[in-house]
Amino acid sequence: MTEKLGFSFEPQLDGEPINGRGDIGAGQRVSEQLLLTGIADNGPESDELDSTAAALTRLFTQYAADIEKHEKEIGMELDKMGRNSPLEYANNLIKLLFSRKIWAGDYDRHMKVTGHDTAINKLFEQVFALDKLRALESRKLFIGKAILEMSCGTGTAIQLLCGNASAEVKSELKVFGNDISDAMKDIAREKLAGTCNVEYTSHDLRKLEFPNGTFDTAILSQTLHLITDPEKLKEEIDESSVRGISDHRNAKVEVIAGAFETLRPGGHFLLIDEWPAVLSETVANPVQRLVARLFSKTFRPIQERADIRTDIMTKIPDANFVAELKVPIDKWHSMYMFIYEKKEDSGPKKQLPAVGSAKKAQHDSDVLCYGVDPKEVLEMVVTDTSIAKARKDAEMRLDAAFSEVDEKFRNAYSHMNGGHRWKKFRRLLRPRTTLRIEKPSDIGRLGKKKWDTVVISRQMHQLTWEQKGKTIEKAIDALEECGALMIVDEWDPPYGSPYPIERKRQLWDEVMREFQKTDRIMFEASLKEPIMAGYEASNMYGYVYRKLK
């Protein structure tokens, strides 16, 4: 047992001590982790765990000594920085955390060993799969030619993005890697040399110095939880307490709003980060404890993903939600990607009427409840047939997109991060094992047999809240274990919907949260597809959940 920084540790694998005894597979997994950290150069050469455990202990011991020395230097530098402005203080704190190449390098290795890099790579696989579909329809791609990585760090996100791009696409990319840490950018330059066309900058995230409309794509990867309000941060650190601190949400939203200013109309913003975002000094892995000690000074996480989604949509007028994707990091937390589109100037928002009400809507006073100018309603020339076809086409595009995402999602749930065993999820939307609930009478089919996929199609605005909950519960019961529940519906609700859900989050708050709290389901992905040009307020949304029990 080795003592460092006031706590003890011993080498761990999958949360269990490595004590020199075990099977060959465990020894190989230790050696694989050592290989990633640079200790084992030639791969596993022995089935004996004693040597690998000793090597791992030496690694952690040296790591702890380096971090202890670095942390003392940070403390001294922070004392010197006390008279600086809050903005300088906040930025200097980040620079200090990533100032020495030894720490930046260890951080890079840590991200590989813990599976973070693998998770981000799987997310980019999903994005490029979706872009292939968008290219067939001549739509703007999520990954454009001019890209800003707002906080590039050691260049991992850029490396993984370029690694998923074809040679032709990669040759056309122009990437700007921005970061205030010179040490991190030094590693990025080494890592990305000869692989991507990258230009490096050192702008403060709070004030990006790029002309408006410069980029097709802006990426903020693994940085959201470190963005702070300098005034609040200095107050919290001066009080020497991290209890009851705020999540600095407004500061985070302001940074994201700045990213939208750099985007061209129709460009895309990709937010990549992990949830739940928790740093703990009580975890078994000593590396994670040391990381927690360093980051706790500036780590201000958003606890609920839904909170940052809501803030982006309500506080950034140009933000238009497109997708939320997910990949596991380990059995405790996952990496997520949110994709938003910068709205193009398309005039006033209009909503589509429900089928059978196109003419009626022109004179229906209920239309005013949706905030639509009667003059705009009178200009509608859509027919029941064209509306129905547009909605069906949007659903078909959702099916195709979810099928692409689902394949990557299921592949990600393999042996990751030390060999955790994941259940084998059933393939989404297989023709003979999929039930679609498209009208109330279809609900009666739910008890007949078990299905791999149940799709509840455009029923959420037709049912009372009690009926919504019961229908979803029956759908979950009708699924095979690890089957998929897919909910598809339109927002804003069509005119004339008897029981409209005004806000999408209401469905989660009122119904889905209860099922997830009891571990009956887990979230997989959500996507949005436009229905008809000229009706920006009407889009088809899809949500996929997996049945766990």
11 pLDDT tier (thresholds 50, 70, 90) = very low
pLDDT at 254 over 50: yes
Asked, for residue 354, whether it belongs to a domain, the answer is no
285 and 192 together in one domain: yes
Residues in Cβ contact with 69 at an 8 Å cutoff, skipping those fewer than 6 apart: none
Residue written as token pair 């990006």: 208
Dihedral of CA 468/473/474/475: which sign? positive
How far is residue 487's CA from residue 507's CA, in Å, rounded to a whole number? Answer: 10
pLDDT at 408 over 70: yes
Which residue, of 313, 342, 371, is where some domain finishes?
342
Contact criterion met (CB below 8 Å) for 198 and 158: yes
How far is residue 226's CA from residue 298's CA, in Å, rounded to a whole number? Answer: 6
412 and 528 together in one domain: yes
Asked, for residue 38, whether it belongs to a domain, the answer is yes
335 and 418 together in one domain: no
On whether the pTM is more than 0.75, the answer is: yes
391 and 466 together in one domain: yes
Phi then psi for 441, rounded to 5 degrees?
A: -65, -20
Name the token pair of 534.
């000229």
Residue 15: count other Cβ atoms within 10 Å of its Cβ.
Answer: 10
Query: Per residue, what are the HEC states of 327-354?
Result: EECCCCCEEEEEEEEECCCCCCCCCCEC
Residue written as token pair 């890592």: 191
Asked, for residue 462, whether it belongs to a domain, the answer is yes
437 and 327 together in one domain: no
Average of per-residue pLDDT across 192-212: 94
Q: How many domains does the chain have?
A: 3
Can you list the pairs that 390-396 forms with residues at least 24 positions away whose Cβ atoms lie under 8 Å?
Answer: 390/352, 390/531, 390/532, 391/352, 391/355, 391/458, 391/490, 391/531, 391/540, 394/529, 394/530, 394/531, 394/539, 394/540, 395/457, 395/488, 395/529, 395/540
Bridge partners, residue 540, by sequence: 490, 529
CATH number at residue 251: 3.40.50.150
HSE-CB of 352 using CA atoms within 13 angstroms = 25
Nearest to 412 by CA among 335, 342, 511: 335
Q: What is the pLDDT of residue 472?
A: 93
107 and 165 together in one domain: yes
60 and 107 together in one domain: no
Helix axes 249-262, 305-315, angle to 10 degrees: 50
Q: What is the pLDDT of residue 299?
A: 86
Query: Between vectors from CA 142 to CA 140 and to CA 146, what angle results, nearest 5°?
Result: 85
Asked, for residue 94, whether it belongs to a domain, the answer is no
443 pLDDT tier (thresholds 50, 70, 90) = confident
pLDDT at 101 over 60: no
Dihedral of CA 139/140/141/142: which sign? negative
Which residue, of 83, 115, 137, is where some domain finishes?
83
Q: How far is CA 282 from CA 3, 172, 324, 490, in A?
A: 15, 46, 31, 45
Asked, for residue 480, whether it belongs to a domain, the answer is yes
Highest mean pLDDT pick, 17-26, 57-66, 133-142: 133-142
Average of per-residue pLDDT across 430-453: 88
Q: What is the pLDDT of residue 46?
A: 47
439 pLDDT tier (thresholds 50, 70, 90) = confident
Longest CA span, the chain: 81
pLDDT at 547 over 50: yes
Buried b (16+ CB within 10 A) or exposed e, 276-294: ebebeeebebbbbbbbbbb
Contact criterion met (CB below 8 Å) for 123 and 270: no
393 and 526 together in one domain: yes
How far is residue 23's CA from residue 33's CA, in Å, rounded to a whole number? Answer: 16
As to burial, measured by CB atoms within 10 angstroms (0-12 exposed, 13-18 middle, 19+ buried), residue 408 is buried
Average of per-residue pLDDT across 276-299: 67
483 and 400 together in one domain: yes
Asked, for residue 271, whether it belongs to a domain, the answer is yes
158 and 240 together in one domain: yes
Q: What is the pLDDT of residue 136?
A: 94
pLDDT at 50 over 90: no
Asked, for residue 256, whether it belongs to a domain, the answer is yes
Q: Which of 102-116, 196-210, 298-312 has the lowest mean pLDDT?
A: 102-116
- Per DSSP bridges, beta strands 174-178 and 146-149 are parallel
How far is residue 205's CA from residue 439's CA, in Å, rounded to a whole number? Answer: 49
Q: What is the pLDDT of residue 147?
A: 98
When the pLDDT of each residue in the chain is averaged and rounded to a whole number, the result is 79
Q: Which of 69-78, 219-228, 539-548 has the lowest mean pLDDT?
A: 69-78
pLDDT tens digit sequence for 360-376: 443 343 333 334 444 44
Average of per-residue pLDDT across 64-80: 65
For residue 94, which amino acid is it?
I
Nearest to 542 by CA among 530, 525, 523, 518: 525
How far is residue 506's CA from residue 468's CA, in Å, rounded to a whole number? Answer: 12
How far is residue 85's CA from residue 354's CA, in Å, rounded to a whole number? Answer: 57
How far is residue 207's CA from residue 388's CA, in Å, rounded to a whole number? Answer: 46
59 and 148 together in one domain: no
| Domain ranges, residue 338 | 103-342
As to burial, measured by CB atoms within 10 angstroms (0-12 exposed, 13-18 middle, 19+ buried), residue 8 is exposed
144 and 248 together in one domain: yes
Nearest to 531 by CA among 485, 488, 468, 497: 488
Contact criterion met (CB below 8 Å) for 59 and 47: no
Nearest to 112 by CA among 201, 34, 172: 34
For residue 289, which amino acid is it?
R
Helix (H) or strand (E) holding 499: none
pLDDT at 341 over 60: yes
Highest mean pLDDT pick, 54-58, 98-102, 360-364, 540-544: 540-544
Asked, for residue 507, whether it belongs to a domain, the answer is yes
Which residue, of 292, 314, 342, is where some domain finishes?
342
pLDDT tens digit sequence for 296-330: 778 888 988 989 999 999 999 999 999 999 998 88
pLDDT tens digit sequence for 456-504: 999 999 999 999 999 999 999 999 988 999 999 999 898 888 999 988 8
